[in-house]
Structure 1
C-alpha cells in the first residue's frame, strides 16, 4: 500500500534502530479513511477464508480490526489487557511481554465470544517480536477455534515475530514490510 508507506515516511518517527513511533496515524491518532482502506485490503486478502470473527489485542489494533470486520461483515473481538470488575471468571488468558511498553501483561478473551466453530482472522497494527501474536494464537487454539491467518499493518522484518508466526504454518499478510530503521531512515522491502 503506497499510501500507507507515504504516511509512514511523513508521519512516523524513528526512535531507534528498533522502534518506529506511529502515533500520528495508527497508535494514538487514527485516520479513519486510511483505516477503512486498510480494512478493505485485509478483507480482500482473506475474503475466501470463511472468517467468522476478527480478533485483535487492545488497544492499537482495534481501529484496523474494526475496519476489517466491517468489510467482512463479522464481529470484532478484542483481547483485553486488564481485568474489569465485570469480567467473567471463564476467561481465556495468556501472559505476554510487550516490546514497546517494556512490561508483561495478561491478555484475555471471554469464552462466550469464541468457540470451536469459529474461523478467526487475527489483525494487528505492528509485529516486532510477535509476543502478543503468539499469546493470542494460544488463546485461539485453547478455544478450539481455527486461525485462518493474520493481517499485520506494519511488519518489522528485522525482528523475529513475523517469521516465527509463519514458521508455525500460519498465513501472515503484511500491508508494509520494513527492513530497517537504521540511521533514522525507514527502509521498506522491495524499495
Structure 2
C-alpha cells in the first residue's frame, strides 16, 4: 500500500533504531479513510479463507480490525487487556509482555464469543517481537477455533515477531514491512 508507506514516511517518528512512533495515523489518531482502505486490502487478501470472525488485541488494532471485519461482513472480537468486574471467571487468558509499553499484561477473550466452529483472522497494527501475537494465537488454539491468518499493518522485519509467526506455518500478510530504522531513516523491505 503505497499511500500507507507515504504516510509512514511523512508522519512516522523514528524514536530509536528499534522504535517507530505512528501516533498521527495509527496508534493515537486514526485516519478513517486510510483505515478503511487498509481494511479493504486485508479483506481482499483473506476473502477466500472463510473468515467467520476477526480478532485483535485492545486497543491500537481495533480500528483496522473493525474496517476488515466490516469489509468481510463478520463480527469483530477484541482481546481485553484488563479484567473487568463483569468478566466471566473462565475467560481464555494469556500473559504477554509489551515491547513498546515495557510491561507485562494479560489479554483475555470470553469463551462466549469464540468457538471451535470459527475461522479466525487476527489483525493488528504493528508486530515487533510478536509477544502479543503469540499470546493471542495461544488463546485461539485453546478455543479450538482455526486461525486462517494474521494481517499486520506494519511489520518491523528487523525484529523477530513476523518471522516467528511464519515459522509456525501461519500465513502472515503485512501492508508495510520496515527493514530498518537505522540513522533515523525509515527503510521499507520492498
- Shorter-chain TM-score category? over 0.9
* Counterpart Cα distance in 2 of 1:176 and 1:5: 6
Paired position in structure 2 for 1:179: 179
Task: Name the SS for the 2:133 alignment partner.
Answer: helix
> Structure 1: which 4+ aligned runs deviate by more than 3 Å?
none
Q: Which residue in 2 is equivalent to 1:116?
A: 116
Root-mean-square deviation (CA, aligned residues, Å) is 0.3
Match of 1:150 in 2: 150
Partner of 2:22: 22
Note the 1:1-191 alignment, pairs <5 A. Answer: 1-190=1-190
**SS at structure 2 position matched to 1:84:** coil
Aligned mates of 1:160, 1:89 — CA distance in 2 = 33
Structure 2 stretches lacking a partner, 5+ long: none
Q: How many residues align?
A: 190
TM-score normalised to the size of structure 1?
A: 0.99
TM-superposed deviation, 1:127: 0.2
Structure 1 segments unaligned to the other structure (5+ residues): none
